[in-house]
Structure 1
Amino acid sequence: MAPSECALNGVNLPVPGPQDCVIRTLWSGISRGTERLVFEGRVPPSEHERMRAPFQEGDFPFPVKYGYCAVGEVEAGPAEMLGETVFCLHPHQDRFIAAPDRLLIVPKNVPARRAVLAANMETALNAHWDAASGPGDRITVVGGGVLGLLVAWIAARLPGAEVTLVDIDPRRAGIAAALGFGFALPNEAPGDADLVFHASASAPGLATAIAAAGFEARIVELSWYGEGAVPAPLGGAFHSKRLQLISSQVGQVAPSRRPRWSYGRRAAAAMALLADDRLDALISEEIPFTEAASRLPDILSKDWTGLTGVLRY
């Protein structure tokens, strides 16, 4: 395998243990930001171990079986799990085996198709914990991909919060309105924000985020850029405004919650947040799993303008 190539391969499932579950996959989500870096071979050697997906096979750069947004039905396993719809951090695969403690039961009020957004919702939730966002805050989110939209959606649920999504694509305005928050193009972005989230994975987006921040505001960097250096405009008013630039990453529970929250509790909270029919708008394309090899390159290209692509099994 080489950069920007993908293929469907048959594998033999291992013999399940007495407590293992056999899951028939219904849907899997394509986490475009991370999977594009993997697809292009841009995971830095220093991050090869930290970036391994829980059920990944192979090693970076290639070949690897990757992905972490699978939803399926338990068709064999412990009696209490049979027939349950579950979410698992598993690569794209039509059947797989996992222990019950690696599975998250999808609530009845969350459709299986929408449940593929659970990993992104968990990242958005953790970002708000890192940011210490609160009621009444003026919040700007730069980058209208799925993660940015989910961060803005959570922010808009804070009482009295003024939330603006900033993106270069004016078509995001309609989605922002449907989800309950404002929209602006970069040259119209409001200034003096109490809190800014950056999720565009671009240097111009980071510059917009810094410019949008008010005095002593916090900028939460959610983008992961992979290999290469990213210019950041730390001149100008960055120091005189006493800005904070912090990172947020879902691999660890935010320090403010870590003493009390397990990964499982955080994942369940994120899944419960998906019980909103408006979030179906974040899934913009369905692909039959049998066509994944031919169609994934388009979704993972820099020119794709959709939101979440899902594989239908």
Structure 2
Amino acid sequence: MGQQMVFPSPRQVALEDTPDPPLGPGEVRVRTLFSGISAGTELTQYRGSNPYLHKRFDLERRLFVDDRPGLAYPLKGVGYEQAGEVVEVGPEVTQLRVGQRIWGSWGHRSPVVLAESTAAPRVLPEGTDPRLGIFARIGAIALGAVHDAEIHLGETVAIFGLGVVGQIALQLARLSGARVIAVDGLEKRLALARQLGAEHTLNFRQVNPGEAIKALTQGRGADVSLELSGAYTALHEAIRATAYNSRVVVAGFLQGEGVGLRLGEEFHHNRIELVSSQTQGIGPRLAHRWDRLRQEQTLMQLATQGGLHLLPLITHTFPFAEIGAAFALLDQQASEAVQVVLEFP
């Protein structure tokens, strides 16, 4: 028997036993080593604010409709930042062996059975710290936002929100040849951003970001801004901070009504382009060449070859049995954490 996490109801966490099925011919059994908690999507499911809990997304028309919820408690299968070790291979498996470590998205659970075709492209190099594997999917979200930003060498990029996605995006923007201005309201996160290469950091509790970024760019504004916090007030400041006729990429999971977002001001007068960057899709200019697997593989190559520094993002590690305390920390004391990790026995 294995175990998986369940949300029985809002702000409730439980572990339930799950069967450990026999392997099919082309399958492998993976023991989870580490699992990361997403402080965006997973917290909306934990808190009950996720739109799928209140409406249904009609895929044919791509509209949220009110006829019934798309999700309902108890919620199972939550989690998309996992790293594990192959402990058994089924008949006909040729590309994997016991002991190899892989990354993927299979929820807060252990063990898990995966198809060889799923696991084989996601093998970590030998000797790699397996915790790097938890960043593949969340890092791909940051990469998608940076791709959507279409950064050019020598440009100034403003990053709003220095959680996990923001800290990865600022490193990717620097690798793209940009100077980065990083904005947040937490000094610990601003200090981490400076450590990871931000040229300037701004605490929005102390300065007005829009005015400060215009001052740092000789009045022009950021060439492109990335809103990665999921706060409407941050999106408004990102719009204010961005140069005339330029772009704001929005990847934060905004919740509820747009309080604090005044689109009749700088957005309207400065012809700002808003681009939605969303994990389920690739921008139209890249979709014929890029997919999710390529994004994730790119992140892992950068991380394992030293181009990205991801382990400093881990601030807390909990035993899997204490997963309830991990979610409570992110829910009630978010300022204390960046990446929270679960360690499996």
Same fold per TM (> 0.5)?
yes
Change (3 A) 1:11 1:268: same
Distance in structure 2 (CA, Å) of the matches to 1:251 and 1:224: 13
Larger radius of gyration: 2
Aligned residues: 303
**1:46-68 Cα shifts (integer Å, max 9, x gaps):** 45688xxxxxxxx7231112101
- The TM-score normalised by the length of structure 1 is 0.91
Counterpart of 2:190?
173
- What runs of 5+ residues in structure 1 fail to find an aligned partner? 51-58
3-state SS of 2:332 partner: coil
1:137 aligned to which of 146, 155, 167: 155
Whether 2:20 is the aligned partner of 1:13: answer yes
Distance in structure 1 (CA, Å) of the matches to 2:319 and 2:58: 31
Counterpart of 1:56?
none
Change (3 A) 1:81 1:107: same
1:202 aligned to which of 228, 231, 235: 231
Following superposition, the deviation at residue 279 of structure 1 comes to 2.0
Counterpart of 2:257?
229
Whether 2:271 is the aligned partner of 1:271: answer no
Change (3 A) 1:184 1:47: farther
Counterpart of 2:105?
89
Residue pair 1:69, 1:89 contacting (<8 A) in 2 also: yes
Task: Extract structure 1 runs of 4+ deviating beyond 3 A.
Answer: 45-50, 300-304
- What runs of 5+ residues in structure 2 fail to find an aligned partner? 1-7, 60-69, 215-220
Following superposition, the deviation at residue 13 of structure 1 comes to 2.0
3-state SS of 2:281 partner: coil
Higher relative contact order (CA 8 A, sep 6+): 1
Change (3 A) 1:291 1:302: closer
Following superposition, the deviation at residue 302 of structure 1 comes to 6.0
Following superposition, the deviation at residue 102 of structure 1 comes to 2.2
Whether 2:342 is the aligned partner of 1:311: answer yes
Letter in 2 for 1:286: T
Correspondence 1:145-294 to 2 at 5 A = 145-159=163-177, 161-181=178-198, 182-186=200-204, 187-189=207-209, 190-191=213-214, 192-226=221-255, 228-231=256-259, 232-275=261-304, 276=306, 278-294=309-325
CA RMSD of aligned residues (A): 1.9
Following superposition, the deviation at residue 234 of structure 1 comes to 0.8
Distance in structure 1 (CA, Å) of the matches to 2:44 and 2:271: 33
Residue pair 1:41, 1:61 contacting (<8 A) in 2 also: no
Q: What is the aligned-residue identity percentage?
A: 27
Change (3 A) 1:281 1:134: same
Change (3 A) 1:196 1:28: same
Residue pair 1:28, 1:70 contacting (<8 A) in 2 also: yes
Following superposition, the deviation at residue 85 of structure 1 comes to 0.7
Counterpart of 1:53?
none
Whether 2:91 is the aligned partner of 1:63: answer no
Counterpart of 1:115?
133
3-state SS of 1:200 partner: coil
Letter in 1 for 2:116: P
Distance in structure 2 (CA, Å) of the matches to 1:124 and 1:109: 25
Distance in structure 2 (CA, Å) of the matches to 1:298 and 1:151: 24
